[in-house]
Amino acid sequence: MRIFVAGHKGMVGSAILRHLESHEVDGLFLLRDKKQLDLRDQAAVRSFFREHKIDQVYLAAAKVGGIKANHEFPAEFLYDNLSIQNNVIDSAFRFGVQKLLFLGSSCIYPRDSRQPISESDLLAGPLEKTNEPYAIAKIAGIKLCESLNRQYGATSGVDYRAVMPCNLYGPGDNYHPENSHVIPGLIRRIYEAKVSGAASVSIWGTGAAKREFMHVDDLAEAAVTVMKAPLSVYKNLTYKTPSHINVGSGEEVTILELAQLIANKVGFDGAIEVDPSKPDGTPRKVMSSKIVRELGWSPKIDLNGGLDTAISDFTSHYCFYS
């Protein structure tokens, strides 16, 4: 089996590749970094698929970032993600790939969704403005997979699936001081505050927003579980909802509680200050993971232990970020 893991150097793609390799999946892994294959280049992507006769695709490549990056670069978050996923999904279909897994994000759901969020809540209300362009791109990816299944599933055997994880963290994360997601951003800022002897660290918003976090290795296991599920089982579980599946840990914490937990773990004893002039984003976002749990998956890494591995990953590579 020839398996293309798109985005294999990113946090999610590398975790999926680790899981596939460690569980002795019988396959040849096709891997290309950004310099070797620009997934925004339609002609290059089509040529790659034409040449390599790929059997399965894990589409983890994306332009990602935290609330600040989404606020400052909305055009890139929309255009680049649409380009990447359209090129990969379309080329997969054109060149006979029957199985594909698309990785999305919980930000696809309305800002004021009921809690916990179900797959059927997609498009039920307005999106959170701070990450709307990214969310729209991911929704388009879900709908492209869904539409190809509906139009060509019976005649061509197309089986394109999608999973929507909650907020992720873990080894290989992006620790950029301004454009990272919340956990890696907090780890870096609080660690540097400790090193510099700063008296305090400021976090965006009121600190009251609640988020669900999951270790990326748990997501990788869930992704492979969804991909390997028999088509009849997958269809039976998703026939009443849009064809994607939520994947969450069920662990929820406020941003302020998270910052304080990280501060304790890195040994920072200064003050954690909130900045209400900055946006909180969605007030609360916890997902229902009932469907994926019916496939036999459940998370194995809790937030407390997972943060230890994330902090260790950051500190062991800190010289490269400085």
Residue with tokens 């890195």: 266
Q: 90: which residues sit within 8 A by CB, 6+ positions away?
A: 144
Q: Are 182 and 262 in contact (CB under 8 A)?
A: no
Q: How far apart are CA 228 and CA 79, in angstroms?
A: 31
58: annotated active-site residue: no
Q: Are 249 and 213 in contact (CB under 8 A)?
A: yes
* Token couple for 143: 């709908």
Q: One of 58, 134, 191, 234 is an active-site residue; which one?
A: 134
Q: Are 70 and 26 in contact (CB under 8 A)?
A: no
Which residues share a beta bridge with 275?
Answer: 204, 205
SS3 53: coil
Q: What's the chain's Rg over C-alpha atoms?
A: 19
C-alpha atoms less than 13 angstroms from C-alpha of 290 in its C-beta half-sphere: 9
Eight-class DSSP state of 127: P
Eight-class DSSP state of 23: T
Q: Are 87 and 146 in contact (CB under 8 A)?
A: no
User: Which H helix or E strand runs over 74?
Assistant: helix 74-94
Measured between alpha carbons, how far apart are the two ends of the chain, in Å?
Answer: 41
Active site residue ranges: 134
